[in-house]
Structure 1
Amino acid sequence: MTLDPIGPLNVSFEFFPPKTPEMEEALWRTVRRLEPLNPAFVSVTYGAGGSTRERTHATVKRLVEETRLKPAAHLTCVAATREEVDAVARDYWDAGVRHIVALRGDSQVPGAPYQPHPGGYDYAVDLVAGLKKIADFEISVAAYPEVHPDATSAEADLDNLKRKIDAGATRAITQFFFDNDVYFRFLDRVLAAGITVPVLPGIIPVSNFRQIVKFAAATGATIPASMARHFEGLDDDPETRKLVAVTVAAEQVRGLAAAGVKDFHFYTLNRADLCFALCHLLGLRAA
């Protein structure tokens, strides 16, 4: 089942900062399991409304100090002035972090419309421009193949992506999707808009279908009816659910790789097993 890709493939992984000592142990088991795959980078998220800022910083700095991974720290516009965000960015640079994932961020009040912080960066494009004034960061930004939920139209969403790239972003990472045609149609529109930076497909292995349904509702991602059928009746059967998850995700990544995709970004949910299996199927081996 292993692919024989033409040329090298690159993978990257997303982690989230732990909330408890048990979650901390789980995260670092995941880090150690995936580190030998030599990912291009690993990103560390902020929580909703910037709620995990300090834990994000601590996790990123530990990655710098204790691993050979290249961490990319998430930064958002939420709940901070420009001066506060700039100070965080300078602290990252001084710690050896050269890659930032620049995001608008979500409202601090769940379900409420996003409101820029007074004195802060209004949107991701403003944050990208601000970061480029501080240092020559490598900057990744978000892209939405199925349109950001707050966008007024697909055209406006694509224009926003282009403005982020023009402001200095070096790549885009997509929200997760499950239909590869959605990604390929989006790439066609991206190229037509004059965007030439890499647009990495964001892949999330579905270990918990109910959880993914919630994620998809919040992000505007579509879940195919066939996927719902695959996971039907498995709520209390985690072992079978894991096997189905690998099968579904393997079909997706194999389809992308067969069409020439060379870069993959995996949302790990701080679990190594499914992502490690997918990388193995892509032909990647521990160094």
Structure 2
Amino acid sequence: KEISLIKQKIDAGAEYAVTQMFFDNQKYFDFVKKCREKGIKIPIIPGVKILDKPRQIDNLEKIFNISLPDDLKNEARENIEHVEEIGTNWAIRQSEELINAGVPVIHYYLMNDTSCMLNILNYLHK
């Protein structure tokens, strides 16, 4: 379904696509592979969300119809007072893997809080 929507957008003039937020890079890599197999050649920009608030552990899955890896959910629930740090570290690892895989650019979904993003950028810029 998503692939046919991307094709429609390309036909309408799209020069790139941005994915929905995800927390598992393999889902992105699999999606890009499927797109390439269907002849889609435009850049597909990964959309990374930083888990930074306890309520997001459950709300993101419900609201955006996505799944968080069990490792991330369990660690966040067990250390609820450190959700922002856990989410930031997860996003850093995601970003490093995506960069090493040669993604064109990363889009970060922020919800009115840029402090986590600054930490990620500072870390990745080292």
| TM-score of the aligned structures, taking structure 2 as reference length | 0.89
1:210 and 1:163 map into 2 onto residues whose CA distance is 35
- The corresponding residue for 1:187 is 32
Where does 1:34-49 land on structure 2 (aligned, <5 Å)? none
Equivalenced residue count is 126
Structure 1 runs (4+) deviating above 3 angstroms are: none
1:277 and 1:259 map into 2 onto residues whose CA distance is 22
- The corresponding residue for 1:249 is 91
2:6 and 2:54 map into 1 onto residues whose CA distance is 29
- The corresponding residue for 2:8 is 163
2:17 and 2:57 map into 1 onto residues whose CA distance is 22
CA contact (8 A) 2:43 2:104 kept: no
Report the CA distance between 1:262 and its aligned residue.
3.2
Report the CA distance between 1:159 and its aligned residue.
1.0
- Specify the code of the residue in structure 2 equivalent to 1:219: F
- The corresponding residue for 2:52 is 207
Query: When you count helix as a share of all residues, which structure comes out higher?
Result: 2
Larger Rg: 1
Question: Residues 163-219 of structure 1, C-alpha deviation per residue, up to 9 Å, x if partnerless?
Answer: 111111121111111111110000001111111111111111100142242222232
Report the CA distance between 1:242 and its aligned residue.
2.1
2:9 and 2:104 map into 1 onto residues whose CA distance is 23
Question: Residues 11-47 of structure 1, C-alpha deviation per residue, up to 9 Å, x if partnerless?
Answer: xxxxxxxxxxxxxxxxxxxxxxxxxxxxxxxxxxxxx
Please give the secondary structure, in 1, of the residue aligned with 2:8. Answer: helix
Please give the secondary structure, in 2, of the residue aligned with 1:201. Answer: strand
CA contact (8 A) 2:21 2:47 kept: yes
1:205 and 1:178 map into 2 onto residues whose CA distance is 9
Which has the bigger relative contact order, CA under 8 A and spacing at least 6? 2
| TM-score of the aligned structures, taking structure 1 as reference length | 0.41
CA contact (8 A) 1:201 1:265 kept: yes
Please give the secondary structure, in 1, of the residue aligned with 2:86. Answer: helix
Q: CA RMSD in A?
A: 1.6
Please give the secondary structure, in 1, of the residue aligned with 2:50. Answer: coil
Report the CA distance between 1:271 and its aligned residue.
1.1
Please give the secondary structure, in 2, of the residue aligned with 1:206. Answer: coil
> Percent identity of the aligned residues?
29
Report the CA distance between 1:157 and its aligned residue.
2.6
2:57 and 2:7 map into 1 onto residues whose CA distance is 28
CA contact (8 A) 1:162 1:193 kept: no
- Specify the code of the residue in structure 1 equivalent to 2:83: R
Question: Residues 58-91 of structure 1, C-alpha deviation per residue, up to 9 Å, x if partnerless?
Answer: xxxxxxxxxxxxxxxxxxxxxxxxxxxxxxxxxx
- Specify the code of the residue in structure 2 equivalent to 1:193: K
- Specify the code of the residue in structure 2 equivalent to 1:229: N
Question: Residues 139-182 of structure 1, C-alpha deviation per residue, up to 9 Å, x if partnerless?
Answer: xxxxxxxxxxxxxxxxx331121111111112111111111111
- The corresponding residue for 1:43 is none
Where does 1:91-240 land on structure 2 (aligned, <5 Å)? 156-235=1-80, 237=81, 240=82
